[in-house]
Every structure is written in C-alpha cells, then in structure tokens.
Amino acid sequence: MPLLLDPAPAPLHELKPYKSLSNEELSARIEAVRREMGPKLMILGHHYQQDEVIAHSDLRGDSYQLSQMAAASKDCRVIVFCGVHFMAETADILANRPEKLAERGGERVRVILPDMAAGCSMADMAAIDQVEAAWADLGEVIDTSDVTPVTYINSAASLKAFCGRHGGIVCTSSNARAVLQWSFARTKRVFFFPDQHLGRNTALKMGITNDQMPVFDPYETELGGNSEAAIAQSKVILWKGHCSVHQMFRAEHVALFRQKYPGIKILVHPECPQEVNDIADVSGSTSKIIKTVEESPPGTKWAIGTELHLVNRLKQEHPEQEIHFLSPVVCMCATMYRIDLAHLCWSLENLAAGRPVNTIEVDPDITRWSLVALERMLEVK
C-alpha cells in the first residue's frame, strides 16, 4: 500500500481554486516552480498524456523508460509523475533502491502523483488478494513450483512483489517474448498477469495455441472458470484482465480502413485483442510504434491502434505521413487524463511551499520483492 509520508499535506479542497484558472496562468505558475526548483525536480510525462501537460515535462516516454531515466539522474530529488498510479510506484521502487539510496547518503527521492485518482483499469483488475487466492486454487490441481508468474509492468507493486517471491518476473510490451522464453527455460507453465491480450498475442507468436491458454477469471469460483483438464494441459494461464483503451479496437475497424484507404498499413499495440493483432501489419510496444512511424518514408499511410493522445501527437509531428486513428470511437486513457494543469500546478506549488501532496511511497517489503522481479527482467536479453 502506498503511504502518505507527510503529517500535514495541503488539504484537497485547496485544489478547487486552481480549476478556475486559465491554462496560461497555470502554465506560468508551473514554470515558476520549475525554475525555482531547478534540476532537483523532474516532471515525467507519459506518451499517453495530454499535450498541455507534456509541454511541462522534462522527459517523455513509456512508464519503464521514464522511471529508469529519472532514477539515473544524479540531481533529481523529486519526481512528479504525470502518468498513473502503478507508474509512480515503479518510479519510487527504482529511484529508491538500495544502491541509489547509498549514492545519495540515504536521501530518498520523493515521488508525487498529481491526482491520486489516476489509476489504471488494467492494473486494478488483478488485486493481490485475488491473485493469491488464484495461486492457492491452482495449487490444488497442478504443481505451482513448476509455474512462473509473469506480470506485465502495468500492474500494482504488490503483484510485482508476488512474482518476485514466487520465482517470477516482470515484462514490458517490448520484451514479453524474451521473458516468456526465460520462463519456459525454468518451468513448464506461465501464469500471465494482468493483460490477457499481451500474454496471448505474445505466446501465439511462439507457437502456443489458444487451447493451451485458458483464461483465469477471478470472479469464477472454480479454477477461474476452467476444468482441471484445461489447467493440466495449459502452457500459459492468462489472467482475465485487459486495457480498457486498447480493447476497443476491432477487426472491423481494420477492414474499414483497408477498404477506404487502399495501401494503408495497420500499426497496433499488443494490448489490442487477438482479432486485431492477427491481421495488423505491425504490432509492437509504444516505443516500436513511434520508431516505426519515425523511420517510414514520406507519404506512408497508417491507421494506428493505440491511445488517442499519442496518435494525435504522431500526426502533428509527422505531417509528411498520413496518420489515422484506428477507431471511429474515442479510445483514450481516461484515468491518465485526470492529470491536468490544475492538478500539476496544485501539486507543484504545495511541494515548493513545503507541504507536499500525493506522495507515493511503496512498502519496503513490497519494494524488495518487486525489485527481485524487475532485476530478473533486466537480466533477460
């Protein structure tokens, strides 16, 4: 559980007046705090964040890149993470790991999430008590010492720690295949959390079939809704979780774009359902999506299936290409969108005034075991 460190953080009702300020005024006040605090303050902006917030970010990237870059900084003492809750937890874990604390003479890096309500629906789908109950349930029918628990980085620190404790590992969307290979070199099976689509799309490319991948639904009473035989013949047990943004893309959207724009290429994130991944031209992590567009010749036509703010930014930054959003409906990360200029300004001004709000500090035991799972991931090439 995250702990609020400060005895007297600014009260939440003080946020209200910020809501009536113009974006220009908020931006000017945010920049004033940045100038005052200098390199000791690092504002991180996730790729899915809105442009107004990105404009004030020191670094832009995906969650793991951002945490690693901030943790590597010698000057940084405060990270304001304009992302979602699990990202701030990861930043706290990496920036305050034992060797980093030793380098700073024990001084912690404070990590702030400007709005505590900025959660991740996918991470929330795998609560630790559900995961522990599922593990015990599986232990009734298979040998769980022959199962590697693998969690996508988009998960709570408590789930990362669970994987650390049980010989498991963390993966990102870039290294999921290598992590599965690492796991199969050690055990017969994998239990993959929380995104069933990333787990399935990755394993299918490795030749594992859908009938070897039962889906474990934590709301079903018996073996997550599976028979003993299905669990016994499984290679990858998929947790029934998904990203509410990427799950919205459909095979009919792909067909629609191909019919309307002959020659268009479909570029999607592996959090999209199998029906979309199977027929896309390219599937890859956020970094791969950006790199693919950057490296394509002028005039290339793309329909991109990932979060709306990132697609719109790619469109602005690459006017030489024709970029479309691969859905007729808006698919944006509504929880990340909660972090607006008002929350950013409120959290920064309170920080500068010495009464910081929304500090994320992960429990030491959870930190220790999460690091075990994260360090295993770093060993995977």
Selected range binding ligand SF4 among 69-77, 238-246, 251-259, 364-372, rule: CB under 6 A: 238-246
Closer residue to ligand SF4, CB minimum distance, 121 or 187 = 121
- Interface with ligand SF4, residue 154, by CB under 6 A: yes
Among 336, 351, 366, 371, binds ligand SF4 (CB under 6 A): 336
Using CB under 6 A as the binding rule, the residues of this chain from 289 to 318 that contact ligand SF4 are 307
Among 43, 122, 176, 180, binds ligand SF4 (CB under 6 A): 122
Q: Which residue has the tokens 């073996």?
A: 223
Q: Rounded to an integer, what distance in angstroms lies between the CA atom of residue 79 and that of residue 109?
A: 7
- Interface with ligand SF4, residue 84, by CB under 6 A: yes
- Interface with ligand SF4, residue 333, by CB under 6 A: yes
CA distances from 342 to 41, 62, 191, 321 (A): 18, 23, 40, 34
- Interface with ligand SF4, residue 170, by CB under 6 A: no
Closer residue to ligand SF4, CB minimum distance, 112 or 126 = 126
Extract the tokens encoding 249: 């893309």
Closer residue to ligand SF4, CB minimum distance, 58 or 307 = 307
- Interface with ligand SF4, residue 244, by CB under 6 A: yes
* Residues contacting residue 84 through CB under 8 Å, at least 6 positions apart: 46, 113, 118, 119, 120, 123, 333, 335, 336
Three-class SS of residue 62?
A: coil
Smallest gap from Cβ 101 to ligand SF4, in A, equals 28
Selected range binding ligand SF4 among 93-101, 251-259, 287-295, 330-338, rule: CB under 6 A: 330-338
Closer residue to ligand SF4, CB minimum distance, 286 or 370 = 286
CA distances from 27 to 13, 19, 55, 84, 174 (A): 21, 13, 9, 21, 34
Q: Rounded to an integer, what distance in angstroms lies between the CA atom of residue 347 and that of residue 341?
A: 10
**Strand pairing report for 110-112 and 169-171:** unpaired
- Residue at 121: amino acid letter: S
Closer residue to ligand SF4, CB minimum distance, 190 or 333 = 333
**Residues at the site binding ligand SF4, with contacts judged by CB under 6 A:** 48, 84, 120-122, 154, 243-245, 307, 333, 335-336
